[in-house]
């Protein structure tokens, strides 16, 4: 596989209420290969979502550069889909029209009309084409949000805690469906999560970040010989390893940065 996303020495600075500089990210470097499923974990406020927004082109770094397919990221693009924690569906539009909205905006709906139904069928929502968002469960709505981005065939799908609002049973069910969608489409997926089990169940690699200023301190390769059953010994051992790394990261003081 070839490298699709390159993040080179990226620093992002915000200002607090007093106008003082706050480093959200400091000199972050990461290379993500085409077709990978990567999860980013770390304590709250470590810059996980900031990094995702930078890849999406929704934000810009003070220092460093980000590239997708060797093209520098300067603005949002349909080639980088973004899934939020809440589905953010158009409340006045049906499931069918929500899925089709990107195709219509790009004026390529007519030649891709068949894909809308194919994607709805893929997530098991045939029969709900005319349903409105308020008529769907949280899990159903999030499935619609995922295929709404995927139907545009993005090179990258960015997922910002997409399953965080679901109960435990629905969350596991949608994790399995997300894995099936990833295998079917081959899209490169980058997911922010606080759930270590979720990261292990879905990812090929897990990126662990430090508290602010956010840096990448560990990258764990998920290599489970017994499969991704959460009760298997190798799954439990990897979970312990990641939790120990997170505990070490959180308990270790981070250097302060000022301009």
Q: Helices 113-122 and 138-150 meet at what angle, rounded to 10?
A: 140
Contact between 95 and 129 under an 8 Å Cβ cutoff? The reply is: yes
What pLDDT shows up at residue 196? 94
Q: 3-state DSSP call for residue 25?
A: strand
Q: 3-state DSSP call for residue 234?
A: helix
Give per-residue pLDDT as tens, 69-91.
999 999 999 899 999 888 889 99
**61 confidence band (pLDDT: 50, 70, 90):** very high
205-221 average pLDDT score: 92
pLDDT exceeding 70 applies to what percent of the chain? 95
Q: Helices 95-105 and 138-150 meet at what angle, rounded to 10?
A: 20
What pLDDT shows up at residue 184? 87
- DSSP code, position 11: E
Rounded Cα gap, residues 67 and 218, in angstroms: 21
Q: What's the CATH class of domain 1-79+188-259?
A: alpha beta
Domain ranges across the chain: 1-79+188-259
Question: H-type helices in 38-162, by residue range?
Answer: 48-56, 95-105, 113-122, 138-150
pTM for the predicted model, two decimal places: 0.90
pLDDT, greater one: 250 or 201: 201
H or E stretch covering 172: helix 168-185
What pLDDT shows up at residue 45? 86
What pLDDT shows up at residue 17? 85
Backbone φ/ψ region at 97: left (φ over 0), alpha (ψ -120 to 50), beta: alpha
Q: What angle do CA 222, 31, 226 make, to 5 degrees?
A: 10
Give per-residue pLDDT as tens, 162-172.
888 788 888 88
What pLDDT shows up at residue 251? 67
Is pLDDT above 50 for 258? no
What pLDDT shows up at residue 254? 53
């Amino acid at each position: 596989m070839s490298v699709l996303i390159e993040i080179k020495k990226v620093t992002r600075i915000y200002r607090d209420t007093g106008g003082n500089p706050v480093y959200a990210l400091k000199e972050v470097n990461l290379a993500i290969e085409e077709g990978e499923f990567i999860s980013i974990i770390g304590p709250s406020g470590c810059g996980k979502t900031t990094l995702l927004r930078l890849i999406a082109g929704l934000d810009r770094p003070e220092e460093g550069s980000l590239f997708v397919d060797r093209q520098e990221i300067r603005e949002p693009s349909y080639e980088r889909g973004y899934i939020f924690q809440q589905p953010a569906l158009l409340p006045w539009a049906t499931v069918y029209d929500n899925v089709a909205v990107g195709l219509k905006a790009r004026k390529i709906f007519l030649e891709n009309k068949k894909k809308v139904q194919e994607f709805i069928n893929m997530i098991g929502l045939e029969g709900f084409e005319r349903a409105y968002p308020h008529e769907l469960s949280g899990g159903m709505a999030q499935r619609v949000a995922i295929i709404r981005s995927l139907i545009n065939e993005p090179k990258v799908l960015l997922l910002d805690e997409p399953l965080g609002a679901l109960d435990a049973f629905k969350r596991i069910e949608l994790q399995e469906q997300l894995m099936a969608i990833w295998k079917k489409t081959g899209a490169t997926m980058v997911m922010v999560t606080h759930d270590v089990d979720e990261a292990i169940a879905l990812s090929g690699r897990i990126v662990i970040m430090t508290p602010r200023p956010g840096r990448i301190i560990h990258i764990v390769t998920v290599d489970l010989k017994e499969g991704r059953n959460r009760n298997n010994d190798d799954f439990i051992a990897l979970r312990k390893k990641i939790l120990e790394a997170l505990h070490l990261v959180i308990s270790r003081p981070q250097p302060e940065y000022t301009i």
